[in-house]
Amino acid sequence: MSAFVASRRLLRTIAGHGWRARSSKPAQNVHISKPGAGFSFELTDEQKEFQATARKFALEEIIPVAAQYDKTGEYPLPLIKRAWELGLINSHIPESCGGLGLGSFEACLITEELAYGCTGVQTAIEANSLGQMPVIIAGNEQQQKKYLGRMTEEPMMCAYCVTEPGAGSDVAGIKTKAEKKGDEYVINGQKMWITNGGKANWYFLLARTDPNPKAPASKAFTGFIVEANTPGIQIGRKEMNMGQRCSDTRGIVFEDVRVPKENVLIAEGAGFKIAMGAFDKTRPPVAAGAVGLAKRALDEATKYALERKTFGKPIVEHQAVSFMLAEMAMKVELARMAYQRAAWEVDAGRRNTYYASIAKAFAGDVANQVATDAVQIFGGNGFNTEYPVEKLMRDAKIYQIYEGTAQIQRMIIAREHVGKYKA
C-alpha cells in the first residue's frame, strides 16, 4: 500500500469523511475561488478535514507529551511517524512523486494546528518542507522522483543546509566551496544551526562554485542535493537551545565530500535564486506556526483568567486583564490573516515575497508578544515549569530569528514597498 493511499484512508477514518486528492498546480488548487466568485473566508470541506485531523492529533497526541520532550530534548520520532501516517507531513510533495500535492494554504492550516500542540515538533516537521522546497521548485523529474519519492515511502527527514557560523542573514557571505573535478563536485566547508541536521536522509546544500569574491551572489552559488551518508560528512552534537528543544539542531562539517554532477539543481550558479525562492514558499507556514503558538498562549491565558480569583472575583473581570486578552486576540486574528494572504498568493501562482515577509515578521512578533502577555496573566505561576506558558515564551523567540530575522523581513518589505513607487 502506498503512503498516499494509507494517508488518505487514515484521514477518512479520523476526519469522519473522505477527501479528494488534487493537483499541486496553482490553477487547480481547491482554495482558489471560481472566476467571479469573489472574496471568501470560508474553508472548503477538504480544508476543514485537514484542519480537524491536525487539531485532533495535536490535542490528543502532541500536547500530552510536549512537556516531556521539552525537558529531555529527545527527538519526537514517534510523533513524526504518526504525522507521516496521517498525511500531515511532506504535504508539498507533488502527486507525481507519490505525495499529496497540497497547496500552501492547506499546508498552513495544518501547520498552525501542529504548532498549537508544540512548535518543537512542528519545526521538525516544517524543516522537511524547507529542505524539500528547492527540489520541488527547481529539481528535474529524475531528482524529484528519487529524493521526494523516497519520503513518501517511509518516514524520513531532510534538511536545508545554508546557514554557516559566519553567514546567517548574510547568505552571500557563505564560505563553503564546491570545486568541480570531472563528473563530480568536491565540497568543503561548515554549516551551522541546521534543523534536522542529525536526522536527515539528504540535504539541500548551498555552496560557492565561483572562486571570484567579486562575483554576484546570483551567479556565485550552486544548489546541491547531498546524501547524508556520503563520506566526509561529520555531524556535530545536538545543540540544546532556549526553546523548541526537541527539534534537532546541529552543525555539519563537509570535508572533501564528493557529489555527482547529476545532483546539481538547474545548473551551476543558480543556487542563490533557488535558495531565496524557497523562502517565499516556506515563510507562510513559518508564520502559521507562530500563529499556532500565539493561539495556544491566548487559550491558556483565557482559561486561567476565568479560574484565577483576586479581590473576590475572577481576574478576567478586571479590566486590566480583559484588555490584555483583547489585545492578544486582535494580534492572533490579524497574524492569521497575514499568513493566509501570503499562502493564497502562492497558490494563485503569484510572486509573494512582500506578503510572505509581512506574514513572517508580524506573526513572529505576535507570537513573542502574546506568549509574554500570557506569562504575565499567569503571574508567578507563569514563571514556573509546572504551567505551560513559560515553554511557549521560550519557544516563541526563534520565530523572530530563523528563516530570516525580523530585521531582514523589514528590509525586504521596505524594498518591495518602495519598489512599487519607483516602477
Catalytic one of 46, 112, 126, 403:
403
Counting residues of the chain whose pLDDT is more than 70, the rounded percentage is 91
- Which band of pLDDT confidence, cut at 50, 70 and 90, is reported for residue 423? confident
CB 107 within 8 A of CB 129: yes
Q: Which of 9-13, 14-18, 299-303, 356-360 comes out lowest in average pLDDT?
A: 14-18
Which residues neighbour 101 within 8 Å (Cβ) at sequence distance 6 or greater? 21, 22, 23, 24, 92, 93, 94, 95
Q: Is the pLDDT of residue 42 over 80?
A: yes
The model's confidence at residue 12, banded by pLDDT at 50, 70 and 90, is very low
pLDDT of residue 20: 28
Distances (CA, A) of 268 to 112, 141, 142, 253, 274: 36, 18, 18, 22, 11
Stretch 106-113: mean pLDDT = 97
At 15-28, the pLDDT tens digits run: 443 332 333 333 34
Please give the helix or strand (H or E) that residue 46 lies within, else none: helix 45-57
- Mean pLDDT value of segment 371-394: 98
Alpha-carbon distance of 269 to 210, in angstroms, equals 8
Cβ-based neighbours of 239, under 8 Å, separated by 6 or more: 193, 249, 250, 251
**pLDDT at residue number 171:** 84
Q: Quick one: average pLDDT of 6-33? A: 41
Tell if the pTM clears 0.95, that is, is over it.
Answer: no
pLDDT for residue 23 = 32
The x, y and z cell numbers of residue 256, run together, are: 572533501
pLDDT category at 35 given cuts 50, 70, 90 is very low
- Give pLDDT tens digits for 147-203: 999 999 999 999 999 999 999 888 888 999 999 999 999 999 999 999 999 999 999
**Computed from CA positions of residues 269, 275, 276, 278, in that sequence, does the dihedral angle turn out positive or negative?**
positive
pLDDT band (50, 70, 90) for residue 340 = very high
pLDDT at residue 367 tops 90 = yes
Q: Other C-beta atoms within 10 Å of 149: how many? A: 17
Mean pLDDT over all residues of the chain? 92
Q: In angstroms, rounded to a whole number, what is the distance separating the alpha carbons of residues 284 and 335?
A: 11
First to last CA, the chain: 53
Cα–Cα distance for residue pair 101/21, rounded to 1 Å = 8
* pLDDT single digits (tens) 287-327: 999 999 999 999 999 999 999 999 999 999 999 999 999 99
Residue with more model confidence, 374 or 14: 374
401 neighbors 249 (Cβ within 8 angstroms): no
Give residue 16's pLDDT.
40
Instruction: Specify the pLDDT at position 37.
Output: 57
Bridge partners, 185 (sequence order): 180, 259
- String of DSSP letters for 229-265: T-TTEEE-PPP--SS-TTS-EEEEEEEEEEEEGGGBS
Active site residue 390: no
The alpha-helical segments, DSSP class H, found in 118-211 are: 119-138, 141-143
Question: Does 333 score more than 60 pLDDT?
Answer: yes
pLDDT in tens, 260-286: 999 999 999 999 999 999 999 999 999
φ/ψ of 139, rounded to 5, equals: -75, 145
Instruction: Give me 113's grid cell.
Output: 494546528
CA distance 220 to 409: 23
Q: Give me the pLDDT at residue 168, please.
A: 87
Rounded to whole angstroms, the Cα distance separating 122 from 115 reads 5
pLDDT of residue 13: 47
Residues 120, 246: Cα–Cα separation, whole Å: 6
Each residue of 192-233: pLDDT tens digit? 999 999 999 999 999 999 999 899 999 999 999 999 999 999
